[in-house]
Chains A and B, each alone.
Chain A
Amino acid sequence: MNGYNFAYLDEQTKRMIRRALLKAVAIPGYQVPFGGREMPMPYGWGTGGVQVTASILGADDILKVIDQGADDTTNAVSIRHFFQRVAGVETTTATTAADVIQTRHRIPETPLRAGQILVFQVPIPEPLRFIEPSEQETRLMHALEEYGVMHVKLYEDIARYGHIATTYAYPVKVDERYVMDPSPIPKFDNPKLDGNPALMLFGAGREKRLYAIPPYTRVESLDFEDHPFEIQRWEHACALCGSDHSYLDEVITDDQGGRMFVCSDTDYCQSRRGEVA
């Protein structure tokens, strides 16, 4: 496209972001500051993820973009169109076909393979922020592994609700060192972070932080001995594909209170239906 460098960002900026990403990969779970650029979309629309994707995208890469698991929601569609225009790359909705997948709030149900890169859009990168407003102090707490307050939060959940009520952005410990916010994915997806063959990159545009989970890294969800980490479960199977092991969304179907549960991952659901048919 005329007037723009490949993938919108200039090469200097991409190099800067790639250097930060290398550092992030080298120190799994550590938040690396980077010189975030203004993007032609508002904060909250994935500017962090878009910059990461722009920096790593090659001309031959096939891109998939999902929002809440779906390829056809506004955010996913607009970001996909953005890269089609500024990079001219091929796009796909098939998880297996994609080289780079930018995501908001989900990890695809189809297991990722080595060589794939998953780029997360992150609103608040700092897992300690809820208890400590000072950035200087949270950085020190990370440096010194002072993570007792993370369990204070989980304790509070159990005290209040009888179980750990945190259901998304559930904190993890990466490579037995850094406590990390996995972005607002459902805790259902947390086990997929652990030992995943794909590279996972996280970009926070507003806060200008990058972090990463390299392939096959140990990622543990924080918990208590007597209240171990558990993922969500549903009494229903997907009303469309019959899956009894995927993350389900509740969909209202009419004005009479009719509703059904369907896979949040549209590509997964569709491919299952294709197989069944």
Chain B
Amino acid sequence: MKKPVLERPVLLDVQGITRLYGPAKGCEAIDFQLHAGEVLGIVGESGSGKSTLLRVLAGLEAPDAGRVVYRRSSGEPEAARSDVHEPDTARRGGTQALGGDPQANAEAELDLYAIGEARRRALLRLEWGLVHQNPRDGLRMGVSAGANIGERLMAQGQRHYGQLRATGQAWMGQVELDPGRIDDAPRTFSGGMQQRLQIARTLVTRPRLVFMDEPTGGLDVSVQARLLDMLRTLVRSLGLSVVLVTHDLAVARLLAHRLMVMRRGQVVETGLTDQILDDPQHEYTQLLVSSVLTP
């Protein structure tokens, strides 16, 4: 029997990220690497800095210090992603475009805050995704479900209404929404349905890297389970790499391969999810784990 291939390329290399709003407010000196195909959970109580860290990682807020390096050459080969359309900008060869700059294509590493805002935004739109806790922050509430799902594709240059619609319906099916409701506005959907719509809208371009901020946070418990199962299935079938922020250890247990425990802006412990939850080492982690109510 041969040794299994366990090496996974590093997708995201986070080096010394600090973003402080005040003493112990924000996050400080965070280092970690996310490997392709991994689901990393960041857990901690509110105010632990996990959401600030996520905002920095997801390209929404520049850090005071440190680097977020995205290694583009890792993950599955580019050929497997040929279904993703090039953006308008790439076709024009604009220097600010992610795909249009031959030098950028040749680069294996992208330093998220060293590249310009144009390339950063293109990266977020093309290769990354962000699922907000509140679906209203991630959806356009005024336009139909189909337009919400199609937006990223249209931003990438897809110009065929029939195909956009077919893709929209297929994704609605994938996230267990009735494809017959493709023309309904998200505001007519329940919270759980909105969240599933947001996930479809984010994943439609098959991003390599997805950030999720308390994706089950605002939902009823009965709705959470279904969403969790769906997320697990999507992570597996799309081969996603995920950074997941949650305060819910049960959610972390079911979704994350690996956990990072944060407290007062710092990482107090990292490890395999089961290790963190079953064999916590740090005093704070032990307290956190032992404080969970189990029915």
- CB-CB under 8 A for A148 and B161, given A131-B140, A155-B146, A160-B183: no
A140, B96: Cα distance in complex, Å: 12
Answer whether residue B89 sits at the interface, using C-beta atoms and an 8 A cutoff: yes
CB distance A152 to B151 under 8 Å? yes
Contacts of A177 in B (CB 8 A): 92
Q: Which of B130-138, B152-160, B192-200, B286-294 contacts A (4 or more CB under 8 A)?
A: B152-160
CB distance A144 to B122 under 8 Å? yes
Q: How many residues of B contact A (CB 8 A)?
A: 31
Q: Which residues of A contact B (CB under 8 A)?
A: 131, 140, 143-149, 151-153, 155-156, 158-160, 176-177, 223-227
What are 21 A-B pairs with beta-carbon distances under 8 A? A140-B117, A144-B96, A144-B117, A144-B118, A144-B121, A145-B87, A145-B92, A146-B155, A147-B88, A149-B151, A152-B147, A152-B154, A155-B146, A155-B154, A156-B144, A159-B146, A159-B165, A176-B92, A177-B92, A223-B159, A224-B161
Answer whether residue B77 sits at the interface, using C-beta atoms and an 8 A cutoff: no
Rank and list the top 5 A-B pairs by shortest CB-CB distance, nearest first: A148-B155, A151-B154, A224-B161, A148-B154, A225-B160
What is the CB-to-nearest-CB distance from B23 to chain A, in angstroms, rounded to a whole number?
Answer: 31
Q: Who on chain A is nearest to B116 by CB?
A: A144
Q: Who on chain B is nearest to A130 by CB?
A: B142
- CB-CB under 8 A for A227 and B161, given A146-B155, A151-B154, A152-B143: yes
A72, B144: Cα distance in complex, Å: 43
Q: Who on chain A is nearest to B160 by CB?
A: A225
Q: With contacts A149-B154, A152-B154 known, what are 8 further pairs, Cβ within 8 A?
A: A131-B140, A144-B121, A145-B94, A145-B97, A148-B151, A152-B147, A155-B150, A225-B159
CB distance B155 to A155 under 8 Å? no
Answer whether residue B164 sits at the interface, using C-beta atoms and an 8 A cutoff: yes
CB distance A159 to B147 under 8 Å? yes
Main SS at interface, chain B: helix
Contacts of B164 in A (CB 8 A): 155
CB distance A159 to B154 under 8 Å? no
Contacts of A145 in B (CB 8 A): 87-89, 92, 94, 97
A108, B225: Cα distance in complex, Å: 62
A227, B154: Cα distance in complex, Å: 14
Q: Who on chain A is nearest to B153 by CB?
A: A148
Answer whether residue B295 sits at the interface, using C-beta atoms and an 8 A cutoff: no
Contacts of B88 in A (CB 8 A): 145, 147
Most buried by A among B146, B154, B156: B154
- CB-CB under 8 A for A226 and B118, given A146-B155, A148-B155: no
Within 8 A of A (CB), among B159-197: 159-162, 164-165, 182-183
- CB-CB under 8 A for A159 and B183, given A143-B118, A152-B143: yes
